[in-house]
Structure formats: structure tokens, C-alpha cells
Amino acid sequence: MRQRVLVASNRGPVSYWFGVDGTLIGQRGGGGLIAGVAPGVAAIAAHAEVSWICAAFSDADREAARRWGADPEDPADPPGTQDAQGFPIAGGVPVRMLDIPPDTFHRAYNNVANSVLWFVHHMLFDSPNQPLFGHEFHRDWASYLAYNDAFAAALAEEAMADGARDGSATADARVLIQDYHLSLAPRLLREKLEGTSRDIRIAHFSHTPWAPPDYYRMLPREVGRALLEGILGADHAGFHAERWAAAFLDCCEAILGAEVSRPGPGSPDPVGQVIHRGHVTKVDVHPLGVDAPALRARAQDDDVRAYVTAIDQVARGRKLIVRVDRTELSKNIARGLEAYRELLATRPEWRGRVLHLAFAYPSRSAIPGYRAYTDHVRRIAQDITEEFRTPDWNPLILEVRDDYPRSLAACAAADVLLVNPIRDGMNLVAQEGPVLSERGCALVLSREAGAAATLGDAALLVNPYDISETAAALHQGLAMPDAERRRRTEALAAAAAASPPARWLGDQLASLDR
Ligand code: G6P
């Protein structure tokens, strides 16, 4: 019997826009979560009956949701799940978009998920001034609850539906709920399924770090409790790194008074287990790596090769320091630029011999703090250019236009890759870079990225707040003998390739069934 798997995430694997004649055109959904999760979902879809539930973001998404969303008679593959070349955008997986009222969606996504939960888990608050939990927040929180309830209702409906699209029988559903947008959905879904004789199992996965209890306690009491209890509605709670799983267990103990066990290192059991309100949740670590063969194959395409040539022409034999990020507060782009400034100031031997390519793509511009941060990053970049530029040397290129093939090319050509987040659940660029590297590249990596746990030994680890240490690591990376750089790159690439998306998702399904 085929396995039935339901995936739920805020952003979906496909998004729509209106063509000039008003027709709906589908394109692959953006963002790091989709880049990581979609290949895994596509791989399990080869042997399981999979559906993906996500939120409509735009008017075109809402139109698609209305046309193909709710009617069970609809075709399984609505137009638009293939792109113009016939490529299955969502890996051939049918997508159900939820048409959540725009105000509710905005409050849940921008005001709660991205302005509060993201900030708590990445410890980003400017605490003398933020956060402020007043009546407006409580209105937003009600929207977050309604938004999670809409997902839980759709998941319950799908989980209780019988059989596959071709009429054959399927096993009871396994539900994989993604990230901090949907922290309440596991419990809400469990409540909706109460009384059923079906063996439906639920997993939740956090792609972010998890805050330690002292910081997490900033949240209003009932909110902090509801988020933990929401995730504990799942049978399995997954994290990218042991640190985040441990912090979650600590919060369950300190804030809920739940019964927590931690089997300890070397145990074959998961990292921990929580018993709360009579329900057991296994807590486990599943680091997400990259599909190295697919990535290397993509890097051979003409568009990437053309950019590699263009970058070589701009660099003219100079060493390249590369970073590729969304302009996201947690990515610490400003301190990365300050570290580069310090490198040029304190080690003048690099002036004229190095070029920093900083790709900082737009992100979450609906949030005012992000717009201000983008301006701040631009100003620092301009100052560095003005301070050090000579008639025949430009020290820095800051590029804010998103261009995937160009990012791949920059990683392929880099001598040093800088990944210095304040905190990061995992970080894919730190893993993609070494896989794509053609000459060997030194990785300067924040010790606060989840990826530090899997890549640490071969990377140059830094404290992300310490720009002097970061500048010294940039120097070490630039000056590193070629043989050592290549050896480290091979080790980094092997670690990144060890848990590709298909294995990452397969392992979670296997732990749900243990
Ligand atoms: C990054 C984070 C994920 C998060 C996603 C949301 O990829 O690592 O944890 O789900 O951003 O991005 P979005 O653009 O959808 O707000």
C-alpha cells in the first residue's frame, strides 16, 4: 500500500503571477525553506502519495487557490505546477493553496511569525525598545491562531480523505509540518483528529534556532506556553542542530513544567523526549544538507558558466571573498562588511589584491526594520569603496538583485566564502559553497550557525560579533596554502553532501514510524 504524506509550510513550492492576458502562470516558490525541502518532497513523491499545503501570498495565488484549491473534482495537477519548459515546479506534487483572508495572513506572517517569533529564536530584539506586547500584538496573535487553524483544518480534511488519486488504497497519513509559522498547527490538528481510529502521525520541523529559556521568556506567558504546547501536539519535533533541540527541551521543562528526558550522547535514542498532557513527543536532530550531484550539474549550465567567466574578468586574478545572503537581520551583513574594512585597514598587503563580492538580496521588505537595515548595509559598502578605492582597483561589489545562476557562479569562483550569521538554524550557503567550489575555498563560518556542528572542523569558525576575529579569519583564508584550502573544501563538501534533502525527509518519516 502506498504511503500517504502531507507536507505543510507557509510558503509553497509554487507561486503564481498573472500573464498579460490575465492567465495564471506558475513559477517555483522562492526562499531557503523551499530550496531545502522541495527536493526531498519530490524524492519521496516517487513512492508515496504526497500533497503539499501552503498559504496563498499574492492575488494571483488567491485566484489559483479559488480555481483549483477546494474542489475535490479538480485535476490533481492544476496548470502551473509545470513551468514554461514543462518542468514540474513542485516535483509533480499537487499543491493546495489556502486562501486565508489577507489581513489575517499579514498579521500572522509579518507581525507574529517574522516580527516576533523569528526575532525571539534568532535573539534579534533591541531589548531596551522592543518587543512591546500590547493590545495590537494580541490582535495579531488571534490572527496567528486563525491562520494555524486554517492549516490544521485543511490537513485534517486531507488526512481523513480515503485513498490515492488513482483510487488505490493508501496507508494512514504522515503529516510533516514546517517551521515557526505553523507552531500551533500540530496541536490543533491533533484535536481535530481526536476520536478517529486512524493511525495518523504528525511531525513538526523547526528550520530556525530555538531560543534558550531566559530569552524565550520575553514572550507573553500564554503565548510562550501555546507555542510549546502547539509543537508538542506532534509525535516528532525535529531541529537542524543539537543545540536547538536542547534549548527546546529546556523551554518545555522550564516554562511548561513538562516531563523531559535526555538520553545523552551515544544513546541510540533520539536527543530527547517530552511527555506533556499525557502525549509523548520525540525530539530529534536532522541536519539538512545539499543534493551535491544536482547542484554540481546545475553549475555546468550555460548561464552559470557565463557568469563564472564574467566574474573572472572582473576579478582579474585577484582573490575573491564572496558572501551570498538575503538582506536579513540575522545574516549579520553589516558586521561582515566591517570585518572586510578592518582587513583592508590592518593588513594593507591585501589592498589591490582582493575583491569582495557581497550578494545581499531583498528580503521581508514589508517589515520597516529590514528596509532600514538594507540602507545601512548600502551605506557601509559605499564608505568602504570611497575609503579604499584606487584608479585601478574597486575593493567591493555589493549586488542586491537576486540572481540564482550568478550566486552559483560566485560560489564556484570564491577563494573565501564568508557566512557569519548572528544565529542561523542551519545555513545552506555554507554547504553549497564548498560543493560548488572549483579551486578550493576557505569557509569563514559563524559558530552560531547550525551548520557549524556538521562543518566545524574544516571551517574557520568565528564569533559573529567579533569583527577583528572575523577579519583575521578572512586573512587566514586568503593566505591559506592551496593544498590546505583544497583539503578543507573536500571535507566540507563531503559533510554537506552527507544528508541530502531526500535522506533528511526519509529519516523523519522513518522516525515517525519507529
Ligand atoms: C529561511 C529560513 C526558514 C524560513 C524561511 C521563510 O529560509 O531558514 O526558517 O521558513 O526563511 O522565508 P520567507 O521568505 O518565506 O519569509
- Atom index in ligand 1 nearest the CA of residue 36 equals 7
Could you report the per-residue pLDDT of 309-355, keeping only the tens digit for each? 999 999 999 999 999 999 999 999 999 999 999 999 999 999 999 99
With 0-12 / 13-18 / 19 or more C-beta atoms within 10 angstroms meaning exposed / middle / buried, residue 103 is exposed
Q: Which three cell numbers stand for residue 39?
A: 527536493
Nearest-angstrom CA–CA distance, 2 and 514? 18
DSSP state for residue 456 in the 8-state scheme: G
Q: Which of 232, 289, 297, 292 is nearest to 505 (CA)?
A: 289
pTM: 0.95
pLDDT value at 83 more than 50: no
Residue of 9, 11, 239, 422 best suited for mutating to test ligand 1, as the one with most atoms within 8 Å of CB = 11
First CA to last CA across the chain, in angstroms?
Answer: 18
Calculate the dihedral angle through the C-alpha atoms of 62, 65, 70, 71, rounding to the nearest 10 degrees: 120
> Is the CB of residue 250 less than 8 Å from the CB of residue 259?
no
**Pocket of ligand 1 contains residue 32 by CB under 6 Å:** yes
- Atom index in ligand 1 nearest the CA of residue 206 equals 9
**Pocket of ligand 1 contains residue 33 by CB under 6 Å:** yes
Nearest-angstrom CA–CA distance, 117 and 256? 18
Q: Which three cell numbers stand for residue 42?
A: 519530490
Q: Which three cell numbers stand for residue 83?
A: 513551468
- Atom index in ligand 1 nearest the CA of residue 363 equals 14
Question: In degrees, to the nearest 5, what angle opens at C-alpha 314 toward C-alphas 443 and 491?
Answer: 20
Q: Which three cell numbers stand for residue 297?
A: 550539474
**Pocket of ligand 1 contains residue 11 by CB under 6 Å:** yes
Could you list the beta-strand ranges (E) of 327-375.
354-361
Q: Which three cell numbers stand for residue 346?
A: 590592518
pLDDT band at 69 (very low <50, low <70, confident <90, very high): low
Q: Which stretch of 129-133, 263-267, 377-381 has the lowest confidence by average pLDDT?
A: 263-267
Could you report the per-residue pLDDT of 454-502, keeping only the tens digit for each? 998 999 999 999 999 999 999 999 999 999 999 999 999 999 999 999 9
- Atom index in ligand 1 nearest the CA of residue 30 equals 14
pLDDT band at 268 (very low <50, low <70, confident <90, very high): confident
Report, as an integer, the average pLDDT of 362-375: 89
Give pLDDT, residue 475: 98
Phi, psi of 390 (to 5 degrees): -125, 170
Using alpha carbons, list the distances in angstroms from residue 23 to 16, 54, 63, 168, 422: 10, 21, 10, 34, 43
Q: Residue of the nearest CA to atom 4 in ligand 1? A: 33
Grid cell 535526555 is found at 262
pLDDT value at 77 more than 50: no
Give pLDDT, residue 76: 43
Using alpha carbons, list the distances in angstroms from residue 483 to 102, 394, 442, 490: 55, 28, 11, 11
Nearest-angstrom CA–CA distance, 182 and 251? 18
Residue of 14, 33, 118, 331 best suited for mutating to test ligand 1, as the one with most atoms within 8 Å of CB = 33
Give residues with Cβ within 8 angstroms of 308, minimum separation 6.
409, 412, 413, 438
**Pocket of ligand 1 contains residue 240 by CB under 6 Å:** no
**Dist. CA 108 → ligand 1 center (Å):** 14
Q: Which three cell numbers stand for residue 506?
A: 526519509
